[in-house]
Amino acid sequence: MGDLSIFLQHLANGVSLGSLYALIAIGYTMVYGILRLINFAHGDIFMLGVYITFYGILYTPLPWWLVFLIAPAITGCIGILLEITAYKPLRESPRITILISAIGASFLLQNLGIVIFGGRPRAFPVPKLLNQVVRLGGVSINIVAFIIPIITVLLLMGLNYFINKTKTGMAMRALAKDYDTASLMGIDINRIISITFFLGSLLAAVGGIMWGVRYPQLMPLMGTMPGLKSFIAAVIGGIGNITGAVTGGFILGLGEIMLVALLPRLTGYRDAFAFVLLIIILLVKPSGIMGDKITEKV
């Protein structure tokens, strides 16, 4: 392996990891952008998405690709349920109350996961088609590592289109500006919020499935770290900004891989790196790379 091919391999590894963070961050940031709510249970919804897919493949006669399509929809419905039970009753409360409720929901889902799925890890059944290795010169990449960035970019474009060009998207943006005025304009707030949570959770599940294919180890607490990392990615990119979240995800993934690759002594600080990056961003440019200037709603 020449130096160049090593570097290219690291680059490919970084893009692959980064696109996963980006994929999970999209849903995170979308919910925040529209509802101004940091949904700390996002990582646990992600975990539920993977487990639903796992059980769907193993215990139903459906082909894996169909499960890959259905599972995110089911997860989306769970997201709606979560909103109705944990957030809706607190809609008039101060934002900090909802934040605490989100943390509570996260713990609840994790522990439910332990009770229902068991503490021992499960192996994600990776479809053969997605478990192949492509070799380009000195660089070896699993085919999933190619697919994930493509899915990420496609979902990014689709979501941007949905929010900016459709009527429901317009209603979402209106909601983001002002709840009361939006409802005065005849927007069904509950419906729009439900759709937002459905989409956010669906995206978490898509991220989860891709995560499962790439790292096929399922645990009830598996959502915590990816959830935090994608939150950081969202903040780096400017929370609320979908394109920013994707950018943030790639920066974080590449940064982590390069840290381990080039400074092996600092490997133990890999997670710390992500949090240090978060602190720096919050100190230097709290609105993130692509975020709007933060103006408090009055």
- CA dist 236 to 70, 83, 180, 279, Å? 31, 26, 30, 10
Strand segments, DSSP code E, in the chain are 122-123, 133-136, 139-142, 217-218
Q: Which residues contact 118 (CB under 8 A, 6 or more apart)?
A: 220
Token pair, residue 262, equals: 């080039």
270 lies in the site for another protein, by CB under 8 A: yes
Residues 156-175 that bind another protein (CB under 8 A): none
- Minimum distance of another protein from residue 79's CB (angstroms): 24
137 lies in the site for another protein, by CB under 8 A: no
Nearer to another protein, 13 or 247 (CB): 13
Which one of 135, 165, 167, 293 is in contact with another protein (CB under 8 A)?
135
- CA dist 54 to 20, 51, 296, Å? 18, 5, 42
66 lies in the site for another protein, by CB under 8 A: no
Nearer to another protein, 14 or 288 (CB): 14
Which one of 142, 152, 230, 247 is in contact with another protein (CB under 8 A)?
142
* Three-class SS state of 1: coil
61 lies in the site for another protein, by CB under 8 A: no
Our CA angle for 91, 180, 167, nearest 5°, is 100
Token pair, residue 21, equals: 């963070």
Stretch that binds another protein, among 11-19, 42-50, 75-83, 162-170 (CB under 8 A): 11-19
146 lies in the site for another protein, by CB under 8 A: no
Q: Are 137 and 5 in contact (CB under 8 A)?
A: yes
- Minimum distance of another protein from residue 72's CB (angstroms): 21
260 lies in the site for another protein, by CB under 8 A: yes
Which one of 6, 58, 112, 276 is in contact with another protein (CB under 8 A)?
6
Phi, psi of 94 (to 5 degrees): -60, 155
Q: What is the CB neighbour count within 10 angstroms for residue 127?
A: 15
Determine the size of the site formed for another protein (CB under 8 A): 39
Which one of 25, 35, 52, 141 is in contact with another protein (CB under 8 A)?
141
Nearer to another protein, 135 or 165 (CB): 135
Q: Are 90 and 97 in contact (CB under 8 A)?
A: yes
Amino acid found at 269:
Y
Which one of 133, 170, 185, 276 is in contact with another protein (CB under 8 A)?
133
221 lies in the site for another protein, by CB under 8 A: yes
Token pair, residue 131, equals: 């478990």
Given the rule CB under 8 A, which residues bind another protein? 1, 6, 9-10, 13-14, 16-17, 114, 119-123, 126, 133, 135, 140-142, 211, 214-217, 219-221, 225, 256-258, 260-261, 264, 267-268, 270-271
